[in-house]
Amino acid sequence: MKYFSTNNPKHQVSLSEAVIKGLAPDNGLYMPERIPVLPQDFFDQMAELSFREIGYHVIGALFSEDLNESQIKELVDHTLTFDAPLVEVERGIFSLELFHGPTLAFKDFGARFCSKLMSMVVLETEQKIRVLVATSGDTGSAVANGFLGVQGVDVIILFPKGKVSPLQEKQFTTLGQNITALEVEGVFDDCQTLVKQAFLDHELNQKLLLTSANSINIARWIPQCLYYFYAFSRLPKNGEKVVFAVPSGNFGNIGAGILAQQMGLPIAHFVAATNVNKVVPEYLQGLPFQAKPSIPTVSNSMDVGNPSNFPRLQSLYGGDEELFRENVKGYFYTDAQTIEAIQAVQPKGYTLDPHGAVGYLGLKDFMAENPGYVGVFLATAHPGKFKDVVEKALGEKLVLPERLAAFLQGKKQVIPIGKGFDEFKGFLEGLD
């Protein structure tokens, strides 16, 4: 299978090139040249298949020209090491809990798949891959944990000193092995600038195979379609149509749901729910797409003013805006509404995190306007990850899951650097 750039369908590359490059040279996003539709007997059997078995079918359909059966199995097994349970929060409203992975957020799925696929691709090139990641928190922890111990890949994380929450920091500074954390004397933008400079430095790129594992990489994007299949297969349905509500920031997660739908999964509708960073809900209501500076909110992993996967969504609809707006309904919510939702759902015996709360609100509004649906919202993070916001909303202490508490025990190991490029370049040149 070839992958084309959303900026130029004639620019096509192999799977390994798309994975190693991440972004196309013309700044477009890679997309599979065709979307395979799974056979009816797969859908008929799906309810009896395990999560991993569903994964073999779906990933096989997309990657079987490029990977053999045992590689596909290895990839899926490495990714799906934890469950994604559906929990009924109210009648007909289900939470798809995507936070049972090592860093308690859905990005674990994409990061784990990406790390394994990169290590397979690098075996072909016989060169060690260096993944550079600038992080303001969440991405660093998912990528670091996803790549931990993966042969042939070293991860270098740059984070701004004193700007990341202590819990998030622990999730990528205590791991050791093939993960190195550089504590930059600066802000997040300085970290990002250093990474960009490294990719542009001719000398460095002659010596080292540098890549990024950010969310636009197809190896992080595609595997996110798996839990839509799995959730659909486990969802109790009595002839109702199915709607998925996705709390969205860069719009990769919802895009993967639309990919699943185009592979034949009979999802009837999507809800794109955002915080006040609402450029996509506004577009879906009929306005032109207009990127804006991001606004800080309590659901801060979705504080995105220029969603990077938007071209991917347009590509999925073949540029047909009407079809896009018909299939996806957009809603946005303020912090006050988000907090109220956390408070309103708690007495039902369920604790929402601020991101899941936005998804829940979108689903409720859609279902109030559209009868005849059973609905799923994606709970993208464990409430313990956003402890301060949730505890304040509820006026009570949360019990942290053991996995999170365990990170807090670890010893922080970092290499301090300044924000000048020469020092960072020197560090990279010193790697063997």
Decide whether 160 or 247 has the Cβ nearer to ligand PLP.
Answer: 247
Q: Which is nearer to ligand PLP, 247 or 330 (CB)?
A: 247
CA gap 67, 386 in Å, rounded? 38
Q: Is 326 in contact with 340 (CB distance < 8 Å)?
A: no
Q: Which is nearer to ligand PLP, 210 or 213 (CB)?
A: 213
In the complex, minimum distance from the CB of residue 254 to ligand PLP, in angstroms, rounded to a whole number: 6
Q: Closest distance between ligand PLP and the C-beta of residue 300, in Å?
A: 9
CA distances from 275 to 29, 331, 336 (A): 25, 9, 10
Report the alpha-carbon distance of residue 95 to residue 280 in Å, rounded. 23
Cα(346)–Cα(378) distance, integer angstroms: 17
What's the min distance (Å) between Cβ of 338 and ligand PLP? Answer: 12
Measured distance CA(279)–CA(327) in Å, rounded: 17
- Report yes or no: 379 and 352 within 8 Å, Cβ to Cβ: yes
Residue 96: CB minimum distance to ligand PLP, A: 12
Nearest distance, CB of residue 251 and ligand PLP, angstroms: 5
Phi-psi category of 152—alpha, beta or left, where left has phi over 0 and alpha has psi -120 to 50?
left
Could you tell me the smallest distance in angstroms from the CB atom of residue 301 to ligand PLP?
A: 3
> CA-CA distance, 179 to 56, in Å (whole number)?
29
CB nearer to ligand PLP: pick between 67 and 108: 108
Radius of gyration of the chain (CA): 21
| Matching residue, tokens 């220029």 | 306
Q: For binding to ligand PLP (CB under 6 A), which residues are involved?
A: 105, 107, 138, 215, 247-253, 301-302, 355, 380-381
User: What stretch of H or E contains 426?
Assistant: helix 421-429
From 21, 107, 397, 425, the catalytic residue: 107
Q: How long, in residues, is the chain?
A: 432
Q: Is 107 a catalytic residue?
A: yes
Give the whole-angstrom CA distance, residue 107 versus residue 63.
Answer: 21
Do residues 206 and 124 make contact, with C-beta atoms less than 8 angstroms apart?
A: no
Active site residues: 107
